[in-house]
Amino acid sequence: MNKKLLFNFLAVVMLASLILSACGSAPTEAPAAPAETEAPAATEAPAATEAPVTAGLACAPNCQYSDLVIGFLQTGSEGGWRAANTASFKETAEQLGLTLKFYDSQNDLAKQVAGFHQFIQDPEVNVIVLAALETTGWEEVLQEAKDAGKIVVIEDRRIDAPETLYSTYIGSDFALEGRKAAEEMCKLLEGSESKKVWELVGNVGSSAAKDRGQGFREGMTACGIEIVNSQTGNWSATEGKQVTEAWLKESKDVQGIFAQNDEMGFGAIEALKEAGLVPGVDVKILSVDATAGAFKAMLAGELNVTVECNPLLAPQVYEAALNAANGEELPAWVPSQEGVFRSDDPNLQEITDGRTY
């Protein structure tokens, strides 16, 4: 074969091999599609299990205030603070369009527990609000309410029970109120050689009485106050006066009176006047609540200080109840924000005119 023919033959062979390699190796069987693998067997649908229990009501997560039927267990009607608290619940219920079933426990614990059972058995009631007369004895009835699918909100008075048994507690920091009271009493008695104080206590089983007393004792050591008499006046002006009268019969050597609420302070003021002493001058008077009567007594110079305790809790309580109804997790405690008012405040009349209770 002459050279030209040989070159052409080799070129053709090379070209052919190039063409084949560009497609890759000699065409082989298109790789077989991967063999169909068994589709994973659908896993067994989980056995039907209990739907996760939500803390909410059947209307969750779209409950409205109009869906709420609230059974409210009020302590009673022992004074100005309580009247303002009750009014807050009744007026706000009307404004929001929820149904309120009001139960007056008449300051009787057995009645309050009976009322609680009544609301648990009431098929219309889906939320129970409790202003507890005492801190203890609530676990069993709270568990019954939970088992019945009822939401429980604690208002005003804290209780000693597991937080898992209620949605939240909305109320004051009573121990802080007690510490504020001690701080103010120290100021009132500044420069006084003797700092003997008498304490009028609320209902001894209540959180307000226990915690205010504890807070006052924590704060009074700062200035050497000595509590020489302490007795319950059961939140009432009548009993506050009777207790103070009895103490005055024994001795008039007192520089300050710490009344755990305004009503008992008013009773002490009356007793001092009838014993020939000038309340607010001879004996400094400090109370808690900041009700309308306290502002009147401060303007008259008979009461020196009142530590505020906010009774207008209904808006916060109803909002918490609605959130709980919609299955929301709530903080264990929503503390109220409160101040202190003094008779020597130059703006006292203006402040008084702006108060709503």
Cβ-contact 270, 241 below 8 angstroms: yes
Rounded least distance, CB 52 to ligand GZL, Å = 36
CA 233, CA 295: separation in Å to the nearest integer?
21
Q: For residues 172 and 316, which CB has a smaller minimum distance to ligand GZL in the complex? A: 172
b/e map 290-327, b = 16+ CB within 10 Å: bbbbbbebbeeebbbbbbbbbbbbbebbbbbbbbbbbe
Rounded least distance, CB 301 to ligand GZL, Å = 22
CA 180, CA 105: separation in Å to the nearest integer?
30
Cβ-contact 79, 311 below 8 angstroms: no
Q: Which of residues 255-284 bind ligand GZL (CB under 6 A)?
A: 261
Of 37-45, 60-68, 73-81, 110-118, which part binds ligand GZL (CB under 6 A)? 73-81
Helices 174-188/207-220 angle, 10° precision: 40
Of 9-17, 77-85, 121-129, 224-232, which part binds ligand GZL (CB under 6 A)? 77-85
Which amino acid type is present at position 42? A
Q: For residues 85 and 323, which CB has a smaller minimum distance to ligand GZL in the complex? A: 85
Give the number of other CB atoms < 10 A from CB of residue 9: 11
CA 172, CA 208: separation in Å to the nearest integer?
9
Q: For residues 167 and 287, which CB has a smaller minimum distance to ligand GZL in the complex? A: 287
Q: For residues 252 and 355, which CB has a smaller minimum distance to ligand GZL in the complex? A: 355
103 bridge partner residues: 73
Can you tell me which of 145, 154, 309, 321 binds ligand GZL, judged by CB under 6 A?
309
E strands along 202-294, which residues?
Answer: 226-232, 256-259, 284-289
Can you tell me which of 156, 173, 183, 184 binds ligand GZL, judged by CB under 6 A?
156
Residues in binding contact with ligand GZL, number by CB under 6 A: 13
Q: For residues 105 and 326, which CB has a smaller minimum distance to ligand GZL in the complex? A: 105
Binding mask 184-223 for ligand GZL (x = CB under 6 A): ------------------------x---------------
Helix H or strand E segment including 168: strand 168-171
Q: Any contact of residue 82 with ligand GZL (CB under 6 A)? A: yes
Q: Any contact of residue 79 with ligand GZL (CB under 6 A)? A: yes
Q: For residues 65 and 198, which CB has a smaller minimum distance to ligand GZL in the complex? A: 198
The residue among 59, 65, 74 whose CA lies nearest residue 320 is 65
Q: For residues 305 and 309, which CB has a smaller minimum distance to ligand GZL in the complex? A: 309
Cβ-contact 269, 196 below 8 angstroms: no
Q: Which of residues 283-302 bind ligand GZL (CB under 6 A)?
A: 288-289
Rounded least distance, CB 146 to ligand GZL, Å = 24
Rounded least distance, CB 241 to ligand GZL, Å = 16
Rounded least distance, CB 232 to ligand GZL, Å = 12
Rounded least distance, CB 208 to ligand GZL, Å = 4
In this structure, what token pair is assigned to residue 305? 């200080």
Q: Any contact of residue 180 with ligand GZL (CB under 6 A)? A: no
Rounded least distance, CB 157 to ligand GZL, Å = 5
How wide is the angle at C-alpha 167 spanned by C-alphas 68 and 73, nearest 5°? 60
Q: Any contact of residue 172 with ligand GZL (CB under 6 A)? A: yes
Q: SS3 for 101?
A: strand
Rounded least distance, CB 171 to ligand GZL, Å = 6
Q: What share of the chain is helix, strand, coil (3-state, %, to 5)?
A: 40, 15, 40
**Binding residues vs ligand GZL (CB under 6 A):** 78-79, 81-82, 156-157, 172, 208, 235, 261, 288-289, 309
